[in-house]
């Protein structure tokens, strides 16, 4: 964790420093205060008619300085934005989140800003006044500095610059190139002295216009102020005040992107952050003068060890002893491992209520969370692991990143990318079962939907034995309906429906019932079915979460005023008011459902006496490419009834953007088939 990293660093830093800006060959892409006339000319923004604003230039620089005996990261930014529409005014209000912990902090300094307008042919410049800068204390450790630019109008150019000085070297400033408005130029320059080793991860769907790496040197001066000093001196007693000059090598990086279109979110995305072009940093190691390389992040061996030794993670795993009596009772009752796991799972979730926070680390000791009966996801699941171990099972933590937190790149180790831990239990047949105890309504062995995000990593003492674990679940979004319909000669329908929700569908619907109550749930379900009345309904297996949730109900839907010679009906459309989920034409990013889907409708339709089939839809079977999914529709007469079967499967949890067009077409055709009519005629 952070504290460990900082301990490593503080070894090296009893220094003072003179630092200098990185020596780049390239001129800055923007000079604060020098607005270009072409940016005031509306002609140059005709192509941006869809945008509310355009980032003309976003330029950031980060470097590492030595200040007051500590290294610090200094991040300087200059941003210039053209406001095109009133809806773009929000871009003139800027929020800078800052963090502090104990005596270490991030500080915003040298904030300056101007708004430029052309008024009566003259360029008018308005200054950002300090009265327009505010600070909001979000939590004891989090502050947001906010400011808003003066006199912003359609056509204004706003420009601001600030520096954030940070004591947190593990938290080197990331850079986001892409935004929800077009970006003309976005550039990030970084210069890192040889004492620090950062990993860099580029993500997104945009390419770099500039990618440069040069090497240079900088000068740093160590100032020893006399008195006792620590690491760099040997022997004892007072030291004379002295200075020493170092000339570390520096790696200078320059990355830039050009003419980026506005970023747009799409449905069935995990989180927009995953898809925006950006570069992330994580401290991998330090190499102080005269000292060996210290690996502070790096490989899984190290991370696993660190996690397992951390008091807020591995340190808790042996502390389930306070519930040993309850565990002993369960062990005595359940010899079968599956049953034992389920019973422990039940004990864990009834012991600590998940408070909605997804975390990798415990907020408290397990005992303290138990006493409160409340905790974050790690408090719950670390307790689960501890109790499973107490019950004699082989269990390992599996760390992952939730869907809203972002995806994991398995070839790139960054602990900061993880925010969640679940239990991986080794079963007697050596298979593993992933168990999470945060959801009341999910059975043992099912991860909450928010965890269905790529792969997770097993945390083992010996990382050689560890592996990535695919999180695609065995449970699907499963819907099964068996329906008996009776049609009368006026076109009225009465029906008995048996509806089962399985897997993730069951989890969702149990949640809705819990929230709404049965009565409102039924009303909500029936909404959109014109004229339905539901005189009777019953639920089954509401509490037995390992089984599908079942609902049986009856409905009637009135027909016309008089018997008709010809009856037309499309029973499937009246049963499911579905809309193609892919209304939008194109797609940039993968479609991520989290889990596969199965939907089955089995209808038996009883015809009114004296009526015969005139026309029936033709059966079809549709396939998605690469065995990605299937839709089957069948209809067959059988004496005075019709048997209809409609089955739709999406076999993958994630479809690539390239597969989007076929997915959309697949739905269009399936829904059109379900909408086809049956025609009945009265026998003459």
Q: Which of residues 493-552 bind other proteins (CB under 8 A)?
A: 514-517, 519, 522-524, 526-534
Minimum Å gap between C-beta 274 and other proteins is 20
Cα–Cα separations (whole angstroms), residue 280 to 22, 184, 413, 417, 627: 20, 21, 12, 10, 36
With CB under 8 A as the contact rule, the residue among 217, 242, 538, 677 that binds other proteins is 677
Minimum Å gap between C-beta 636 and other proteins is 16
Give strand ranges (E) for 207-248.
Answer: 210-217, 220-227, 239-246
Which stretch, 7-15, 135-143, 283-291, 406-414, contacts other proteins (CB under 8 A)? 135-143
Q: Residue 558 interacts with other proteins (CB under 8 A)?
A: yes
Which stretch, 62-70, 73-81, 148-156, 644-652, contacts other proteins (CB under 8 A)? 148-156
Site size with other proteins, rule: CB under 8 A: 78
Binding mask 327-366 for other proteins (x = CB under 8 A): ----------------------xxxxx-x-----------
With CB under 8 A as the contact rule, the residue among 2, 328, 357, 675 that binds other proteins is 675
Which stretch, 4-12, 302-310, 588-596, 673-681, contacts other proteins (CB under 8 A)? 673-681
Using DSSP's 3-state secondary structure scheme, residue 280 falls into: strand
Contact set for other proteins, span 387-416 (CB under 8 A): none
Say which residues have a Cβ less than 8 Å from residue 161's Cβ, sequence separation at least 6: 32, 76, 77, 78, 79, 110, 111, 112, 113
Name the one residue in this structure whose structure tokens are 């000319």. Answer: 41
With CB under 8 A as the contact rule, the residue among 547, 647, 669, 682 that binds other proteins is 669
With CB under 8 A as the contact rule, the residue among 44, 148, 604, 606 that binds other proteins is 148
Minimum Å gap between C-beta 524 and other proteins is 8
Minimum Å gap between C-beta 564 and other proteins is 9
Minimum Å gap between C-beta 618 and other proteins is 9
Q: Residue 621 interacts with other proteins (CB under 8 A)?
A: no
Write phi, then psi, for 183 (nearest 5 degrees): -125, 120
Q: Give the C-alpha separation, 516 to 597, whole Å.
A: 25
Minimum Å gap between C-beta 684 and other proteins is 17
Contact set for other proteins, span 425-454 (CB under 8 A): 440
Q: Give the C-alpha separation, 378 to 384, whole Å.
A: 9
Contact set for other proteins, span 37-66 (CB under 8 A): 49-52
Contact set for other proteins, span 565-584 (CB under 8 A): 566, 568, 570, 578-580, 583-584
Name the one residue in this structure whose structure tokens are 């604060």. Answer: 32
Q: Are 385 and 395 in contact (CB under 8 A)?
A: yes
Which stretch, 144-152, 219-227, 325-333, 622-630, contacts other proteins (CB under 8 A)? 144-152
Please, what's the b/e burial string for 121-141 (b: 16 or more CB within 10 A of its CB; e: otherwise)? eeeeebebeeeeeeeeeeeee
With CB under 8 A as the contact rule, the residue among 372, 547, 647, 682 that binds other proteins is 372
Cβ-based nearer residue to other proteins, 101 or 223: 101
Long-range contacts of residues 536-539, Cβ cutoff 8 Å, at least 24 apart: 539/513
User: Could you write out the three-class secondary structure of 34-85?
Assistant: CCCHHHHCHHHHHHHCCCCEEEEEEEEEEEEEEECCEEEEEEEEEEEEEECC
Cα-trace Rg, the chain: 32
Minimum Å gap between C-beta 555 and other proteins is 8
Write phi, then psi, for 366 (nearest 5 degrees): -55, -40
Cross-strand partners of 568: 679
Closest CA to 597 of 472, 477, 509, 448: 477
């Amino acid at each position: 964790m952070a504290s460990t990293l900082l301990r490593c660093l503080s070894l090296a830093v009893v220094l003072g420093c003179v630092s200098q800006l990185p020596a780049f060959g390239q001129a800055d892409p923007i000079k604060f205060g020098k607005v270009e006339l072409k940016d005031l000319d509306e002609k140059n923004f005709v192509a941006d008619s869809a945008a509310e604003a355009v980032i003309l230039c976003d330029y950031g620089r980060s470097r590492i300085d030595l200040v007051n005996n500590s290294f610090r990261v200094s991040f300087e930014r200059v941003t210039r934005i053209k406001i095109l529409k009133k809806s773009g005014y929000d871009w003139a209000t800027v929020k800078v989140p800052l963090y502090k912990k104990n005596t270490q902090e991030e500080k915003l300094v040298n904030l300056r800003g101007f708004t430029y307008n052309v008024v009566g042919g003259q360029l008018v410049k308005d200054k950002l006044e300090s009265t327009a800068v505010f600070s909001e204390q979000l939590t004891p450790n989090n502050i947001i500095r906010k400011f808003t630019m003066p006199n912003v109008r359609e056509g204004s150019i706003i420009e601001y610059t600030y520096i954030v000085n940070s004591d947190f070297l593990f938290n080197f400033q990331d850079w986001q190139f892409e935004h929800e408005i077009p970006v003309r130029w976005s550039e990030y320059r970084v210069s890192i002295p040889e004492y620090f080793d950062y990993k860099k991860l580029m993500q997104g769907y945009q390419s770099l216009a500039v990618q440069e790496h040069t090497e240079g040197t900088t000068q740093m001066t160590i100032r020893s102020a006399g008195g006792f000093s620590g690491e760099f001196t040997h022997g004892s007693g007072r030291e004379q005040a002295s200075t020493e000059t170092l000339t570390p090598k520096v790696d200078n990086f320059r990355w830039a992107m050009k003419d980026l279109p506005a970023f747009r979110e799409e449905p069935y995305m995990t989180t927009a952050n995953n898809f925006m072009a950006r570069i992330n940093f994580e401290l991998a190691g330090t190499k102080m003068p005269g000292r060996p390389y210290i690996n502070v992040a790096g490989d899984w061996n190290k991370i696993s060890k660190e996690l397992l030794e951390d008091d807020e993670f591995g340190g808790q795993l042996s502390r389930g002893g306070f519930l040993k009596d309850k565990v002993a009772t369960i062990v005595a009752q359940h010899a079968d491992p599956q049953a034992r796991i389920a019973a422990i799972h039940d004990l864990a979730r009834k012991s600590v209520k998940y408070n909605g926070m997804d975390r990798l680390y415990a907020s408290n000791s397990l005992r303290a969370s138990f006493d409160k009966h409340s905790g974050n996801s790690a408090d719950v699941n670390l307790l689960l692991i501890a109790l499973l171990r107490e019950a004699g099972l082989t269990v390992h933590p599996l760390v992952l990143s939730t869907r809203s937190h972002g995806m994991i790149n398995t070839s790139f180790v960054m602990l900061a990318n993880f925010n969640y831990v679940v239990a991986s239990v080794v079963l007697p047949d050596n298979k593993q079962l992933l168990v999470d105890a945060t959801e009341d309504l999910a059975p043992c062995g099912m991860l909450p939907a928010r965890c269905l995000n790529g792969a997770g990593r097993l945390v083992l003492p010996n990382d050689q034995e560890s592996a990535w674990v695919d999180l695609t679940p065995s449970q699907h979004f499963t819907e099964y309906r068996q329906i008996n319909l009776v049609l009368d000669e006026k076109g009225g329908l009465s029906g008995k429906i048996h509806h089962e929700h399985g897997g993730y569908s069951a989890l969702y619907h149990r949640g809705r019932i819990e929230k709404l109550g049965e009565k409102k749930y039924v009303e909500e379900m029936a909404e959109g079915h014109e004229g339905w009345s539901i005189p009777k309904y019953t639920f089954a297996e509401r509490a037995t979460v390992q089984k599908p949730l079942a609902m049986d109900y009856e409905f009637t839907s009135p027909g016309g005023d008089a018997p008709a010679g010809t009856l037309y009906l499309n029973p499937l459309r009246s049963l499911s008011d579905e809309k193609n989920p892919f209304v939008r034409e194109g797609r940039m990013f993968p479609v991520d459902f989290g889990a596969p889907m199965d939907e089955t409708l089995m209808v038996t339709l009883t015809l009114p006496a004296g009526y015969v089939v005139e026309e029936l839809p033709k059966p079809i079977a549709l396939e998605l490419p690469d065995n990605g999914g299937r839709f089957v529709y069948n209809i067959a007469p059988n004496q005075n009834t019709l048997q209809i079967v409609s089955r739709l499967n999406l076999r993958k949890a994630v479809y690539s953007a390239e597969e989007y067009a076929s997915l959309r077409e697949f739905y269009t055709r399936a829904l059109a088939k379900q909408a086809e009519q049956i025609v009945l005629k009265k026998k003459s």
